[in-house]
Structure 1
Amino acid sequence: MEIGIIGSGNIGSILAGYLTALGHQVFIANSRGPESLGEVGRKTGATAVTTAQAAGAKDLVIIAIPNKAAVNLPIDILSVSEAIIVDAGNYYPSRDGQIAAIEAGLTDSEWVANVIGHSVIKAFNNIVAPSLATKAVSVGSPNRIALSVAGDDKPQKWAVMKLIDEIGFDAIDGGLLSESWRQQPGEPAYCQDLDKGTLTSALQQADIRKRADNLATADDMARPYL
């Protein structure tokens, strides 16, 4: 596939390395421009490009940036894209500022979809970078870590789940995009390195009545690192 990754932080760079190793043509971009991505390109094999070029990837675009930066994406390109667009971000108010629509009940990925004018699949947001980088294993390995994938387009969701499996993790259906809050910061399914069965249970344990409090707690814990 032709894959664009917008965001060269830990998650974006790790995914670039996996995807190039699988034989995909990967383009990676950040807000500072391709000239800042020499080391990332050397380590991952991905081609450093502009954000607009990454957004124009034919088959898959992964957005791995803070929510607050979504408004600066090349919306004119993304809104008409025929690619699957994956949102790998998480909303942290102390970093992203108070986003009224999310505070009012939208999931962060629903908000991103509205901003870019294109549907998205939520994936790669509920695993910490060190685990993503080091804990990929082959199919059938005991205690294989699972990632949940949420979205409204089933074929697109299944395509992303297949890619996750190829990278080295199990994938489970996390429901509609409106249910993706279950895999967001503060919830039982967030960044716990769970296997498929345990992750399924964790998603079901999430309580919508506790969503705001759980996010606030997670935000306070993450504040020193953001």
Structure 2
Amino acid sequence: MTHDRSATPTASRRPSGPVRALGILGAGRLGSVLAELAASAGYTVRVAASGDPARIARPMAAIGATAAPAETVIAESDAVVLAIPLGRFTDLPVAALRGRLVIDAMNHWWEADGLRPDFEDRRTSTSEIVQRHLVGARVVKALGHMGYQDLRDDARPPGSPGRAAIAIAGDQPADLAAVARLVDDLGFDPVIAGALAAGVMLEPGAEAFGADVGAAELRAMLDRFPTSQHGIVVARARGGALGFPRTSSEG
């Protein structure tokens, strides 16, 4: 993947709508689990890893997905999931992702990313940093606050007792609706956290991070974030009381 901020007249601009073709950048544990869940739900799934796609062709085919170069994954998908180490986000192809629905499932791990003061800045969420880099893309934070093993084990059909929930944060109601439909199809109840800035409530250190709970309990975790220790630290960094812009699609 290469870094390119230049505008191109051929850059795709797909409006939000039902996601039927899902692209995943990253073929590690999280990317592979998401690919398997999406393929099982009937999505066309294409996955890119660093290096030759042939390296992951066989394991991807075994779960119903297709290995492809990153440019193909982006060009032929309705939405693109970022499942690479967060520290590599500046390698993402900005021009190719312009106009795209991009689902940020990345988190900051110092073991993988090293010491990064920008990721530790409580005045902003890491998804907002990614959005600022991906000029023209439409970033939604989702699919990264639950462990990959829980994602694999706990997917359930709609209406199943004890169904787990996944939170979503984004600025555009249509994009939130599209990702909520995807989350539901993958086997989880979607919960709207708020605008993209609210993605901080889904990052390491927040109560919702790592949570494998139902929608009601996940909503309660999000609601009490401002009074949590982590929420108070974030509020102080942001100069006062913590509040996130809401979207018209929130329930």
- Which TM-score band (shorter chain)? 0.7 to 0.9
- In the TM superposition, 1:159-198 aligns within 5 A as 159-198=178-217
Q: Which amino acid in the other structure matches residue 209 of structure 1?
A: I
Instruction: Provide the residue aligned with 2:21 in structure 1.
Output: 2
1:149 to 168, 181, 202: 168
Instruction: Provide the residue aligned with 1:99 in structure 2.
Output: 116
In 1: Cα distance, 2:36 partner to 2:111 partner: 30
Instruction: Provide the residue aligned with 1:121 in structure 2.
Output: 140
The alignment status of 1:111 with 2:134, answered yes or no, reads no
Higher Cα radius of gyration: 2
SS at match of 1:112: helix
Q: Indicate the RMSD between aligned Cα atoms, in angstroms.
A: 1.7
Instruction: Provide the residue aligned with 1:87 in structure 2.
Output: 104
How many residue pairs get aligned? The number is 210
1:77-120 deviation line (CA, Å, top 9, x unaligned): 11x2x331100011123421333433332211111112222230
In 2: Cα distance, 1:129 partner to 1:101 partner: 25
Q: Is the 8 A contact 1:34 1:48 kept in 2?
A: yes
The alignment status of 1:77 with 2:96, answered yes or no, reads yes
Q: Which amino acid in the other structure matches residue 130 of structure 1?
A: Q
Q: Is the 8 A contact 1:7 1:29 kept in 2?
A: yes
SS at match of 2:212: coil
Shift of 1:15: 1.2
Instruction: Provide the residue aligned with 1:130 in structure 2.
Output: 149
The alignment status of 1:19 with 2:38, answered yes or no, reads yes
Q: Higher helix share goes to which structure?
A: 1
Q: Is the 8 A contact 1:8 1:40 kept in 2?
A: no
TM-score by length of 2: 0.78
Instruction: Provide the residue aligned with 2:232 in structure 1.
Output: 209
In 2: Cα distance, 1:197 partner to 1:150 partner: 17
Q: Is the 8 A contact 2:57 2:66 kept in 1?
A: no
Shift of 1:211: 4.6
Identity of matched residues, %: 30
Q: Which amino acid in the other structure matches residue 187 of structure 1?
A: A
TM-score by length of 1: 0.87
